[in-house]
Amino acid sequence: MAARTATIAGVDVSVDHWIAGRRVASKQHFTNNSPVDGAFLADVSAGSKEDVDAAVAAARKAFPAWAALGPEGRLPILKKFAERMLARADDLAAVETADNGSLLMGNKHRLVPRSALNISFFAEWALKMQGHTINSDEVVGHVQYDPAGVAALITPWNAPLMLTTWKVGPALAAGNTIVVKPPEWAPMTCSLMADIADEAGLPPGVLNVVQGIGEEAGDALVNHPDVARISFTGSTDTARIIGGAAARSITPLSAELGGKSPLIVCADADLDAAAQTVAGQYMNAGQVCLAGTRVLVEKSIEEEFLEKVRAAAGHMVVGDPRDPGTRVGPLIHPEHFSRVSGFVERAKADGAEVLWGGSQSSEGDLYFQPTMFGGAAADAEISQREVFGPVLTWQTFQSDDEVIAIANNTEYGLAGTLFCGNEARAMRIASAVVAGTIWVNCFFVRDLSAPFGGSRTSGLGREGGNWSFDFYTDIKNIAVRKDAFTS
């Protein structure tokens, strides 16, 4: 069966799998439409168990030679991969915007460069992970980081390229070979990424991409006996299914999941900066797992701060994500639009007050107004569940103990944001909030050497810097008795 391509935003992109260094078509397809205007993009090959088996077999075959290169041997190939991504920034950005509705300028100037950095950073970091020694009274421990084998990488649709390379970078740099299962609602930039990797000289089978539906291709991948690592970013409910498969085979699993993060604003904070940050939570139409969707404001500044946020939110223009003036694009898919609007309608029925927004935007079928709810009960669905849309809630507090209790009153623990003018107070609150990351007087600063991940139902494990290599390698200690050798 001949491989097929689609022209998306003027860029030719394969709609078939990438397995063992060549394009492979499936008999079954799924339809991919653009959330920007509903336009048809492509019929994409839907991977079967046989496709997954072929991809895992290709990765397993390529593993010994790729692992044997060592960090120094892999470095120039991965650096070229990153360079080629930057050279194709316009193409990658245009395809990503058409595929998932994210802002074109943001993709071109932030997410594609960050995606390239994910590859080059970890390729260089791997040079630091070539082992060390531990001296004790009786032995010298030689610690080494051995590649684990075939890694299954399952990625989400809200930032497909960036979040895929966040996994691809350390997995390949550690010496593993990989099978990527991109999101079925936005698979196209992962397909383009495979061609770029090939142009950069990645050997056949080192990087494989199998598109498809989670219940079919994804299920086959996480249950495959030859997969040595599973890395997943997505919903908590899906992670429970993947976790069951990983548990049956004792396969290490890393999972970055949902959130319902607090954004805390104290009375002595820089209120203008805080208001801009609150309005910024509407970016990517609120489809950001780290978003501070629960705005918690010290009672004494409520009225003043609410007006500042209202003004800032007024500049969050809803529209075509290809327009440089747009700040809020569409939701990804009709199914997801229905989910978000369902949360909003139920919140209204439960008595929450719509402070602004609260309904579909006139821009199109998948566009939703930036929305703020006030007066929701602490145990209400809108206060507890992840909406994953441009929907925030507003609550007040009068003491540090109260805001800590409110912040921790969900099942999640992914992130938190705090604006505060007193360092001691800020550290006291930040230390007590349950989350993998707390930003103080800033937001969304991601140092790739820092640990990242979630607590509670927001995730398993940490990624970034050494933590990524702890996951993607088998760490071995060779303990040699000090008097074992005389020469």
Q: Looking at the annotation, which residues are catalytic?
A: 256, 289
Nearest one of 427, 43, 88 to 96, comparing CA atoms = 88
- The single-letter code of the amino acid at 105 is M
* Distance in angstroms (rounded) separating the CA atoms of residues 157 and 99: 9
Nearest one of 80, 166, 73 to 126, comparing CA atoms = 73
Burial of 139 (0-12, 13-18, 19+ CB in 10 A): middle
Q: Report strand pairing: 5-8 vs 207-209.
A: unpaired
In what order do the strands lie in the sheet containing 391-397? 353-356, 371-374, 391-397, 294-298, 262-265, 415-419, 437-440
Cα Rg of the chain (Å, integer): 23
Task: Give 283's contacts (C-beta < 8 A, 6+ positions apart).
Answer: 103, 106, 316, 327, 328
Tokens of 147: 């590649």
Torsion angle in degrees (nearest 10) through CA of 479, 481, 482, 487: -100
The maximal CA–CA distance of the chain, rounded, in angstroms, is: 81
- CA geometry: angle at 408 spanning 402 and 409, to 5°? 90
